[in-house]
Amino acid sequence: MTRTQGIALRWVLGLAIGLLFVWLSSRQWPMEKLLCEDLLASGASLSCMVEGEVSWRLEYLWLLPAFLVLAAVHFLRVLRWRPLLDSIAPHTFSELNRISAVSFMVLFILPLRLGELARPYMVASLGRVRKSEVLGTVVLERVLDGLLMAFLLFCVLALLPADHNPSAYYTLRVGSLVALAVFFAALGILWLALFNRDRAAALISCCTRPFSRRLSHRLSDMTARFIEGLRALPSPMVFARCVLWTALYWAVNGFYFWFIARAFGLQEWVTPIVAYAMMAAAAVGMMIPNSPANVGSFWYFLLLPMYVSGMPAGAAPIAFGISVWAMMLIQYCVFGLWFMAGSGQKNSPVIP
């Protein structure tokens, strides 16, 4: 298979995943009610009228604090990553700010989480550290995020009723338990690899050598460098700072969902507890292989906690879910494209 064919296959798989989740979502969402016969704009709000009744209403003013939360989350993401990367090689805040803005835009847009490789590539292009070493920081971040979000989802579900929508409730309950198991296993594998680098590299070499000696040697070498990069990370102080920044990052992030719910007048169902449940469900859902721009999969996982809270299916939650997704997409693209347009400096070649 050529490289072009491989890229095309990934996009086809990503689109198939998106279509699947759009179909799953449409089974609960009355999509036809999202379209307005009349769209009425007043000074501070926008209303969608269907058959003479308000289908959904959006108050503009609540979008401003929501966007400010997204901006704060971006900078917290940079501050969370910096101590991990500085353990390997020091980088300025402006460098990491630019790299984070561009790479998270790519991560959100590309299918199957291919954008996870953007940060290692961009950092390596500065010429101070190898991609495989930077990848260690990205993997550690993802494991911490996965554990925290799965644990948070498991805990907040205990505070929500199970009888409003048992199907959605038990889907989330099982999903949180599966995610906890997966990320605990990933953490265990990382921990064991730190103390058995040679054995881990030898195992990968043994499994891949029958297929390609060249690929086997390269993967074994990359594994050794990746684990070497991990060894620089988890000093007690660095790890504690990373955990604290991670907790603050997600604590602030939850307000975004609550502000958008207020914008649509859904605060009766989207309490702060439900907002954090939605955040955790969407975060865990986005960690599986995703569709391009997370279309479908993001909406599906985001709205499950809303149905658990007793919110009836209607146009308002659909408009809410699409708006949450759209504002995130806009923020990623605005920040990412701004730094892409403004970075005219030449970087050094990537270290293999």
User: Has residue 2 got a pLDDT over 70?
Assistant: yes
Q: What is the pLDDT of residue 61?
A: 94
| Calpha distance 66→253 (Å, rounded) | 9
CA–CA distances in Å: residue 93 to residues 242, 309, 324, 343, 350: 16, 41, 28, 15, 20
At residue 347 the predicted structure's pLDDT band, cuts being 50, 70 and 90, is very low
Q: What is the DSSP-derived secondary structure letter of residue 351?
A: P
30: left (phi over 0), alpha (psi -120 to 50) or beta: beta
Q: What is the pLDDT of residue 200?
A: 67
Q: What is the pLDDT of residue 349?
A: 39
pTM: 0.88
- Could you read off the pLDDT of 172-218 as tens digits, one per residue? 999 999 999 989 887 877 777 767 766 766 766 777 677 677 766 66
- For residue 205, which of 226, 231, 223 has the smallest C-alpha distance? 223
At residue 143 the predicted structure's pLDDT band, cuts being 50, 70 and 90, is confident
Q: What is the pLDDT of residue 350?
A: 41
- Could you read off the pLDDT of 102-132 as tens digits, one per residue? 999 999 999 988 888 899 999 999 988 888 7
- Could you read off the pLDDT of 9-21 as tens digits, one per residue? 889 999 999 999 9
91-99 long-range contacts, Cβ below 8 Å, gap at least 24? Answer: 91/123, 91/126, 91/128, 95/126, 97/339, 98/339, 98/343, 99/123
> In whole numbers, what is the pLDDT of the chain averaged over residues?
86
Q: What is the pLDDT of residue 294?
A: 94
- Mean pLDDT along residues 266-286: 94
**Percent of the chain residues past pLDDT 70, beyond the cut:** 87
- Could you read off the pLDDT of 24-36 as tens digits, one per residue? 888 777 666 677 8
Q: What is the pLDDT of residue 152?
A: 96
Instruction: Return the beta strands (E) in the chain as ranges.
Output: 38-41, 45-50, 53-59
CB-based contact 13:20 (threshold 8 Å): no
- Strand order across the beta sheet in which 38-41 lies: 38-41, 45-50, 53-59
Q: What is the pLDDT of residue 203?
A: 67
Q: What is the pLDDT of residue 343?
A: 60
| Calpha distance 332→100 (Å, rounded) | 10
- Mean pLDDT along residues 64-70: 97
Determine the number of helices (DSSP H) and then strands (DSSP E) in the chain.
12, 3
Q: What is the pLDDT of residue 345?
A: 45
Q: What is the pLDDT of residue 208?
A: 67
- Give the N- to C-terminal CA distance of the chain in Å, as an integer: 23
Q: Which two tokens stand for residue 38?
A: 């009349």
The C-alpha angle 143, 146, 150, rounded to 5 degrees, equals: 145
Burial class (CB in 10 A: 0-12, 13-18, 19+), 61: exposed
**What is the enclosing helix (H) or strand (E) of 127?**
none
| Calpha distance 193→22 (Å, rounded) | 39
The residue behind tokens 């009228």 is: 49
Domain residue spans in the chain?
37-342
